[in-house]
Every structure is written in C-alpha cells, then in structure tokens.
Amino acid sequence: MRKKIVAGNWKMNTTLPEGVKLAKEVNEALAGVNAKCDVIICVPFTHLASVNNVIDANKLGLGAENCADHKSGAYTGEISAPMVASTGAKYVILGHSERRQYYGETAETLRAKVALALENGLTPIFCIGEVLEERENNKHFDVVKAQIEEGLFNLSAEDFGKIILAYEPVWAIGTGKTATDDQAQEMHHFIRSVVEGKYGKEVAENTSILYGGSCKPSNAKALFAKPDVDGGLIGGAALEAESFMGIVTAF
C-alpha cells in the first residue's frame, strides 16, 4: 500500500531561529495527534542540522529543497547529496518548478540529482506540473508525461519505487488558485497510468503522488479524499504550525 504523506516546502523563508522555532512547534503539535499520514518538512540547507536536533525522527521526516548535480568538487556555493544526508535529512525535493523556471534546471541535471540523491539514501520528492498556457492549450498531459519520462524513466523499477511524485500545476503555486479536486484526480490518475505503462501495475499502485499548489486546511480534505491523491506538498500554509497541522489532520 502506498504511503499517505503531507510534506512542507518552506522555500526561501525563515531565518535559522525562526525555522528552528517552527520545526519545534510542528514537532510538538504532532506529538499530540495520531497522524494518519507521514509528515515531512523540507527546509533551507542552513537549517537542516539544527532542525534535525529538535525533531523526533519517528514522527517528523526532514528534507532539503534541492541538492547539487555533482558529488563534490569545485562547485562554489553548491550543496551535495552526501552533505544533505550527513545532516540527518532523509528527503530532497527535486525539480520544483521554481528551480526549473528560475535556475534553468533541465531533465539532464535532474537525472544527475536523482541518481546522487538515491546513491546517498535520500528519497527524492520529484515535482512535475504544467504552466497555465500549457493547460489552456490542452498540452498539460503531454508536458507532465514528458517531465516524468525525461527525468525518471532511466531508473530501474527498484529505484523508481523509492521516488515520491508531486504534481504541482504552476498556475496554482502561491496564487491562491487551487486545482479543483477533480482536476487533481484527473491528472494524478493519468500520472499513475504513465508509471504503470513503464513499470507495471504494482509499482504504479505503490507510488505516492502528492498534490501541491495553494493547498490549505480548507481544501485539503476534498483533495485527499480523491483516490489517486496521496497527500500534499505544501508551500505557504507550511509556514505556520497551525495551518500545516490543519492539512496533516485532513487525513
């Protein structure tokens, strides 16, 4: 059975003291509830080691928001997968639309990042999703299929089985405009069929596919009720413990 997951993506928000405080708040809130899903927070690189020290790893997973496409060496300012793993983090978001769009990440760099993440025991949370124009031109299925094929279909079935997918329609990110639960279900079902076409039914049924884009406590329940929506990747609403927990408890 695939896992239900709610993951926060803090993006470039919070100073170190603010981030540690938020992590502690989420950790404490989780201690008081019987969460019906795995809960993960993905935080800035600078916060990883400190946050790892204040959370209960049995209740709250920790991840980075990116890693480098090289293992080590003369790449000033980059953070490698082994460095991320050495902080205690277990997850890494890869291929977020903001990185594809603002930092020119291509399928080729993403394949390298995914390979390095897996080699270092990190679980990639691999993001895919179309921009508004692509949806309006009815290209959204082709775009998402190509992102999956080009970024991930070089993997063995065993390695693909370690990937968490996150469908994030770019037009819904930070805009307050959520995909309807039917739009999310339609795309998640399609994504699962693409995975099935390559790796077979068992792998497809075991792949967690998260929805991201203006997910909030008020819409999480309807989204998570859909059969192919296995949880959420949460931006803005993950920056306060109360709203994040409101989404966690939507399961």
**How many alpha carbons lie under 13 Å from residue 239 in its C-beta half-sphere?**
12
Mention every residue, 6+ apart, whose C-beta is less than 8 A from residue 199: 157, 160, 161
Strand ranges, E, within the chain = 5-9, 38-42, 61-64, 91-94, 123-128, 164-167, 209-212, 231-234
Q: Determine if 215 is a binding residue for ligand 13P (CB under 6 A).
A: yes
Q: Determine if 63 is a binding residue for ligand 13P (CB under 6 A).
A: no
Among 214, 224, 228, 248, binds ligand 13P (CB under 6 A): 214
- State how beta strands 38-42 and 5-9 pair: parallel
The distance of closest approach from Cβ of residue 64 to ligand 13P in the complex, given in angstroms and rounded to an integer, is: 13
Residues with a catalytic annotation lie at 96, 168
Q: Which positions from 164 through 203 interact with ligand 13P, judged by CB under 6 A?
A: 168, 173-174
Between residues 171 and 251, which has the closer beta carbon with respect to ligand 13P?
171
- Helix (H) or strand (E) holding 197, with range, is helix 181-199
Q: Determine if 95 is a binding residue for ligand 13P (CB under 6 A).
A: no
Main-chain phi, psi angles of 115, to 5 degrees: -60, -45
Q: Determine if 14 is a binding residue for ligand 13P (CB under 6 A).
A: no
The distance of closest approach from Cβ of residue 195 to ligand 13P in the complex, given in angstroms and rounded to an integer, is: 20
The distance of closest approach from Cβ of residue 186 to ligand 13P in the complex, given in angstroms and rounded to an integer, is: 19
- The residues of the shown chain that bind ligand 13P, judged by CB under 6 A, are 9, 96, 168, 173-174, 212-215, 233-237
